[in-house]
Chain A
């Protein structure tokens, strides 16, 4: 089977699995989310019609008399229409609207931070692994300290040092609240100042993984025959480093993107909480504390979709840069 077709069908299966998990979790676990949700809704002044009840029951399970597969089918139909229900904590805003306003914050923050961490980590790893045994290389194991630091704790420390003691950056939020979000320079520069600490947290906490992986692959690659051949041909070390060693050593890092992205997203969810960042992670935690189950499921679905999408793109690119993966199928 064609590599691309196979990848696409795998991600279709993964998507289906995520949707089904989303359907199954509230039905398998104890507690009655629908009643809690409707009670909250009434507190907020919402009217509970039988239709609202049925819509939530489809999303979360409950005392619906329909057989499970009918519920499942209706759930999928609702999702296909983009209907994720109404958020209780942001009543009467729709879940999809709450998510769409917070999604860009997270995508930009995590996206930029991940790219910076990956590029820096891979470059440093290639540099360190190229001359193994130097004093720089013997320091590599100390980066494991960074890799083992909890994201949110690093965020706390950075806030304490850079925001509270030195006062260089604002402690919380995503932008200066006196400004209205828009595409003007004032707002964007404010967003950058506020986003600097969260981004720094993610970069510092995730860079070590890239560095270590690249360094180890670099060491393995250097003992390959084609490196020896390149040296024998009299190529300059810089040329060998760039065109021969790095190119081959970076492949596992690209292939391992799935795992690292999952870690980064997980870490950033809690980091956002520390900074009260207006992103999707903060919404997820807010939904959990408010028992806003509809929003909770919606956010989980969107995070999963985003991670699956990013992985799909990387996998397809991988097929292009490494012809061997295509040939194997």
Chain B
């Protein structure tokens, strides 16, 4: 009996890798990444930090309040200790996280819009416009961003250096990489038949772009947006750390700026300078992990790999069970 059953079991395992009875993922669901442990960690990190940024500022005290206690380590009253002037580090962290996420999202949106304009529109129109846009993109790509941002911020007087100035400067210096990727993708989508059909039937170009081309690029745009947010948060933190950030803003970078100027490092006040950077790193990690899963949508070879692996594991398990079965039966016999 076992001899008859074993080949069939293995055959079904090999022929029908997906559990039977579940319909194939179709329609808009195929645009969503598959849930993996890493994706789950990423979502939890992003969700947790966003929640912290939105809610925590309402529960902590005034981050600017100066107390007559100086630099103290973590305690029951102040879970993350206090700064040199007795300010609550946890309260500062809450407001700073909010500030950093804000600027990250603003810059992410601006940079993605710019890259879509130069990448998609240029590639769709083709000819001279495409040449000009792609030249502009490549030039912006090779000019190092942060030094340019530093120079621009250096020329703008401190009073007129608001949140939006910094956001626009960061966006203008960071869209190029995404535009190049989008251009390559658009070029391949543009030559497909249904796009040609839409053009022949006399649709306006904005409609062809939005209805026919854009949906194909959504995973790429999402991934570029995620990258833009990470880059913006990192860039803003760097700028603020060297004292060139937006005036009157509270971000994780300004926290590190004050920590550095308050000699947190030489005083060994790790509770002051570790949390802001860790917050940036964890949020960035969360976004990158989500990007990992989006990558699988863009590059099906990566996804197939995971499916193959799953299949191989299941086959191996079946084989082991069978082997155990046979030895058990033989032992009984």
Contact = CB atoms under 8 A, between A and B. Distances in A.
B59 interface: no
A300 B292 contact: no
Interface string B102-145: 00000000000000000000000000000000010011011111
Interface string B249-270: 0000000100010000110101
Chain B facing A: main interface SS:
helix
A33 interface: yes
B151 A307 contact: no
B143 A14 contact: yes
A269 B147 contact: yes
Q: Which of B38, B148, B230 has the most CB of A within 10 A?
A: B148
A269 B238 CA distance: 10
Nearest to A221: B301
Contacts of B155: 25-26, 29, 31, 33, 293
Contacts of B145: 262, 266
B268 A164 contact: yes
Contact of B234 (A150, A219, A285, A307): A150
B150 A285 contact: yes
Interface in B132-191: 135, 138-139, 141-148, 150-157, 160, 177
A311 B141 CA distance: 11
Contact of A156 (B141, B273, B289, B295): B273
Contact of A160 (B152, B153, B265): B265
A153 B243 contact: no
A139 to B, nearest CB: 10
B156 A30 contact: yes
Interface residues of B, number: 59
A325 interface: no
Contacts of B273: 153, 156, 160
A284 B301 contact: no
Interface in A126-180: 132-133, 141, 144-145, 147-154, 156-157, 159-160, 164
A230 interface: no
Contacts of B138: 10, 14
A152 B260 CA distance: 11
Contact of A266 (B147, B277, B282, B284): B147
A243 B165 CA distance: 50
A71 interface: no
Contacts, number: 175
A300 B177 CA distance: 21
Contacts of B288: 141, 144, 147-148
Interface in A270-329: 270, 273-274, 284-285, 287-289, 291, 293, 296-297, 299-300, 303-304, 307-308, 311
Contacts of A11: 142
Chain A facing B: main interface SS:
helix
A269 B150 contact: yes
Nearest to A261: B144
B95 interface: no
A21 interface: yes
A13 interface: yes
Interface string B60-95: 000000000000000000000000000000000000
A291 B273 CA distance: 28
A102 interface: no
A119 interface: no
A83 B86 CA distance: 50
Contact of A148 (B153, B157, B230, B276): B230
Contact of A159 (B241, B265, B309): B265
B142 A262 contact: yes
Contact of B284 (A10, A33, A147, A262): A147
A144 B141 contact: no
Given A266-B144, A285-B242, A160 B270 contact: yes
B147 A219 contact: no
A220 interface: yes
B225 interface: no
A216 B150 CA distance: 34
Contacts of A149: 277, 280-281, 284
Given A266-B147, A288-B244, A150 B277 contact: yes
A29 B152 CA distance: 8
Contacts of B265: 156, 159-160, 164
Interface of B: 38, 135, 138-139, 141-148, 150-157, 160, 177, 230, 234-235, 237-238, 241-244, 256, 260, 265-266, 268, 270, 273-274, 276-277, 280-285, 287-289, 292, 295, 299, 301-302, 304-305, 309, 312
Complex A-B, nearest 3 residue pairs according to Cβ-Cβ distance, in ascending order: A148-B284, A153-B277, A266-B146
22 contacts: A13-B135, A14-B142, A133-B305, A147-B284, A148-B284, A148-B287, A150-B238, A153-B256, A157-B277, A160-B270, A160-B273, A164-B266, A219-B305, A220-B301, A265-B146, A267-B238, A274-B260, A284-B151, A288-B242, A288-B244, A300-B147, A307-B143
Interface of A: 10-11, 13-14, 17-18, 21, 25-26, 29-31, 33, 132-133, 141, 144-145, 147-154, 156-157, 159-160, 164, 216, 219-220, 223, 258-259, 261-262, 265-267, 269-270, 273-274, 284-285, 287-289, 291, 293, 296-297, 299-300, 303-304, 307-308, 311
